[in-house]
Structure 1
Amino acid sequence: MKSDTTELENQMADAQFLADLAFLTDMTSHLNELNLKLQGKQQNIAKLFGHNSDDYCWMRKI
């Protein structure tokens, strides 16, 4: 049976895995910020994403 620690050590040495992990971490952070902004009263996507907003520009890059 293969040890989980060995597999984790191998993944931490893999550059592609680390790049994927960094990307997912970054995306999760941006989605968390969006979630928090949408929780305000009378908030919706149309109000949040005006054509001049930074959030709109960020979403267009994706």
Structure 2
Amino acid sequence: RMRENEATLGRLQQQGGGEERERERERERWSLLRAARDEADRSLSLAASLADKEAALSHAHATIKE
């Protein structure tokens, strides 16, 4: 009976560890998704800034030619 209890306890601990690993994996997944979204937002912001600077440079070249 004692061996059965120890075996049952061992299985429960292994299952609990698996659940904890699954939760940790899920937290890591969401963390990576947030980081990817933040980097995508940053990329869009940099692209918009570059477009503005290219437009200003183009306008400056046109002004110089006049």
TM-score bucket (shorter structure):
0.3 to 0.5
Structure of greater relative contact order (alpha carbons < 8 Å, 6+ residues apart): 1
**Which entry has the higher C-alpha Rg, 1 or 2?**
2
TM-score, normalising length: structure 1: 0.45
